[in-house]
Amino acid sequence: MGMDLNRYHPNNLKRVSSGMINVHPIQRGGILTEEARRVLLEWADGYSVCDVCLEGRVDLVKNPPIDEFKQDVAEFLGMDTARFTAGARHAKFAIMSAFKNGTLVLDSLAHYTSYIAAELNGIRVYEVPNSGYPDFRIDPEGYATTFERVKEETGRYPDLALLTHVDYRYGNLADARKVGKICEEYEVSLVLNTAYTSGIMEVDGKKLRASFIVGSGHKSWAATAPIGILATNYELADSVFRTSKLRGDWSGRAFTKKELALFGCSPVYGLPVMTLMASFPRVVERVKRWDEEVEKARWFVREMEKIEGVELIGERPKNHTLMHFESPAFHHIAKKHRKRGYFLYHELKKRKVFGVQAGMTKNFKLNTYGLSWEELEKVAWAFKDIAEKYGVEVED
């Protein structure tokens, strides 16, 4: 046998980021709380939450209290009810499966998973443009204009709208309230993709007039992957969480409780849902401290921009901890460096900072969410120290 099974030995399964400050753009909000770490072993076995499943559906399990938990999560998001999905992407797919072959208007900064969910459901996509370089802002009025464009082309307003609350490229915070108002005026249901917001900042679907809130447990709710959240109101719950109508023609079996878009039973059975639950009390508290996170992010941007040839792109001032820098200074160094574009990654690693994508120097993204002031200072120092090492000017 050619397999080297030793490579799977636990001693060989160490994370490359171990022991470093991890500023990976998608990871900061998914770091487990102490409480979540405490349930890891108890609930680590495969279908652990199914010990006492009386209804054949994870979301109805009473012990552990998943049934109550889904309602608490819905309340926390200002919605009526919720389900747990295999990530934000599955939540979007589930919603769009109720709008098959329809039309969707979404922001032009939407994540690829929004487009894929639409494509898989035969939905035609129309984009709301953004303002372009260097801010890339989404103007809420663009939704009204695009709704009109859809009407001109198809004779009807769209079936659905989607707004990426904070986008993955620039970390811009969209004006969800204004978009929600426009959607309400046009009677178009709004999906608010809060993959980068709910769980770290307050999101109230009722106030924002969202029909659906999509969240990502592993991105922003301190949970183990994969887990997403799909919250909605009672009016729409029946269509999105519609149940099976099929009957086997030989067996005569029916599956009337099984929700189609959740594959019959939620696809998250063990650790993902239990870590989400164990972290929840802390998540409910932490969203109230969002202002401090923004303050830290803005401080960090100021420090980074002291390096000549490093500049934030996306909205200013920042309203989120995910940020994107343009860095001709580092790109210039990379051109002459033995390690080429990988030099920044290696230099950061030497300074115990991880998460800037290997090979990136022209521009890069990082996320400061949840870093202490001390950690933040270390990260800023690391970038400045690298710049100075290669003769780049750094302001005091």
Ligand X SMILES: Cc1ncc(COP(=O)(O)O)c(C=O)c1O
Residue numbers belonging to the annotated binding site for pyridoxal 5'-phosphate: 88-89, 193, 216-218
Contact pick of 195, 200, 312, 376 for ligand X (by CB under 6 A): 195
H or E segment and range at residue 104: strand 103-107
- 121 vs 114, 115, 158, 379, CA distance in Å? 11, 10, 15, 43
Please identify, among the stretches 46-54, 84-92, 250-258, 364-372, the one whose residues bind ligand X according to the rule CB under 6 A. 84-92
Q: State the nearest-atom distance from the C-beta of 266 to ligand X, in Å.
A: 14
Q: State the nearest-atom distance from the C-beta of 16 to ligand X, in Å.
A: 19
Closest CB to ligand X among 59 and 167?
167
- Note whether 187 and 157 are within 8 A (CB): yes
Closest CB to ligand X among 110 and 307?
110
Look-up of token digits 């103007």: 139
Site for ligand X in 335-364 (CB under 6 A): none
Please identify, among the stretches 30-38, 39-47, 86-94, 136-144, the one whose residues bind ligand X according to the rule CB under 6 A. 86-94
Q: What is the C-alpha separation between 302 and 271, in angstroms, rounded?
A: 39
Q: What is the C-alpha separation between 159 and 123, in angstroms, rounded?
A: 9
Please identify, among the stretches 75-83, 87-95, 150-158, 325-333, the one whose residues bind ligand X according to the rule CB under 6 A. 87-95
Look-up of token digits 């980068």: 196
- Note whether 334 and 344 are within 8 A (CB): yes
Task: Work out the number of other CB atoms within 10 angstroms of the CB of residue 6.
Answer: 8
User: Binding site membership: which residues?
Assistant: 88-89, 193, 216-218
* Residue 241 contacts ligand X per CB under 6 A: no
Q: State the nearest-atom distance from the C-beta of 202 to ligand X, in Å.
A: 18
- Note whether 261 and 90 are within 8 A (CB): no
* Residue 198 contacts ligand X per CB under 6 A: no
Please identify, among the stretches 74-82, 124-132, 160-168, 325-333, the one whose residues bind ligand X according to the rule CB under 6 A. 160-168
Q: What is the C-alpha separation between 202 and 67, in angstroms, rounded?
A: 23
The set of residues, in sequence order, having a beta carbon less than 8 Å from that of 8 and lying 6+ positions away, is: none
- Note whether 233 and 77 are within 8 A (CB): no
- Residue number of the CB closest to ligand X reads 87
Closest CB to ligand X among 214 and 392?
214
- Note whether 271 and 48 are within 8 A (CB): yes
The distance of Cα 100 from the centroid of its chain, to the nearest Å, equals 24
Q: What is the C-alpha separation between 239 and 24, in angstroms, rounded?
A: 37
- Note whether 346 and 339 are within 8 A (CB): yes
Closest CB to ligand X among 8 and 112?
112
Contact pick of 146, 216, 233, 266 for ligand X (by CB under 6 A): 216
Site for ligand X in 89-118 (CB under 6 A): 89, 111, 113
Closest CB to ligand X among 111 and 324?
111
Contact pick of 30, 64, 87, 314 for ligand X (by CB under 6 A): 87
Question: Residue 163 forms beta bridges with which residues?
Answer: 192
Q: State the nearest-atom distance from the C-beta of 6 to ligand X, in Å.
A: 31
Contact pick of 17, 20, 24, 26 for ligand X (by CB under 6 A): 26
Positions touching ligand X (CB under 6 A) are 26, 87-89, 111, 113, 164, 167-168, 193, 195-196, 216, 219, 228
